């Protein structure tokens, strides 16, 4: 399976509303529940109306469009990294999954995945 490194710094944020989100960025993930609005975005474009934020994330994605019938792709990656004490923050889109790790664990995560047959 092929993975692609996303070359930018990410932040995970809670925002008051979506009015200041930069939708023109290549990567912007928004989640809404009855309790919160969350945004994962380029650290340089964190909205000013952020109520909480966590900086220092890097990301990679699983390349290609994943069929919904495929089972365990994200789980396998998460398990490999968890077994090596690397925490993740995962974001799924219609096409694929994005996996974020803290900056200090990113190279370790990539090395673990390469060692287990993933192509970066």
Give the pLDDT confidence of 58-107 residue by residue, as tens digits.
999 988 765 555 566 888 999 999 999 999 999 999 888 999 999 999 99
* pLDDT of res. 73: 83
pLDDT above 90 (res 46): yes
In the block, which residue shows the tokens 């990113």? 106
Q: Which helix (H) or strand (E) holds 14?
A: strand 3-15
When pLDDT is averaged across residues 29-49 and rounded to a whole number, the result is: 97
Distance CA 23, CA 11 (A): 15
Distance CA 43, CA 50 (A): 12
pLDDT above 90 (res 31): yes
Topology, domain 3-115: VC0802-like (3.30.2130)
The structure's pTM equals 0.90
* pLDDT of res. 58: 98
When computed from its CA atoms, the radius of gyration of the chain, rounded to whole angstroms, is 15
Whole-number Cα distances in Å, 34 to 23, 37, 44, 93: 22, 9, 27, 20
Please, where are the H alpha helices in the chain? 73-83, 103-115
What is the percent of the chain with per-residue pLDDT over 70, rounded to a whole number? 93
Enter the tokens of residue 36: 């919160």
Burial (CB count within 10 angstroms: exposed 0-12, middle 13-18, buried 19+), residue 17: exposed
Average pLDDT, the chain: 93
pLDDT above 90 (res 52): yes
pLDDT above 80 (res 19): yes
């Amino acid at each position: 399976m092929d993975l692609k490194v996303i070359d930018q710094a990410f932040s995970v944020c809670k925002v008051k509303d979506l009015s200041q989100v930069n939708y023109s960025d290549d990567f912007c993930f928004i989640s809404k529940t009855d309790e919160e609005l969350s945004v994962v975005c380029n650290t340089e474009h964190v909205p000013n109306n952020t109520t909480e934020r966590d900086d220092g994330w890097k990301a990679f994605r699983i390349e290609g469009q994943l069929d919904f019938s495929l089972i365990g792709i994200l789980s396998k990656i998460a398990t490999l990294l968890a077994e090596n004490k690397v925490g993740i923050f995962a974001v799924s889109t219609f096409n694929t999954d994005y996996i974020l790790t803290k900056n200090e664990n990113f190279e370790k995560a990539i090395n673990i995945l390469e060692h287990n047959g993933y192509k970066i």
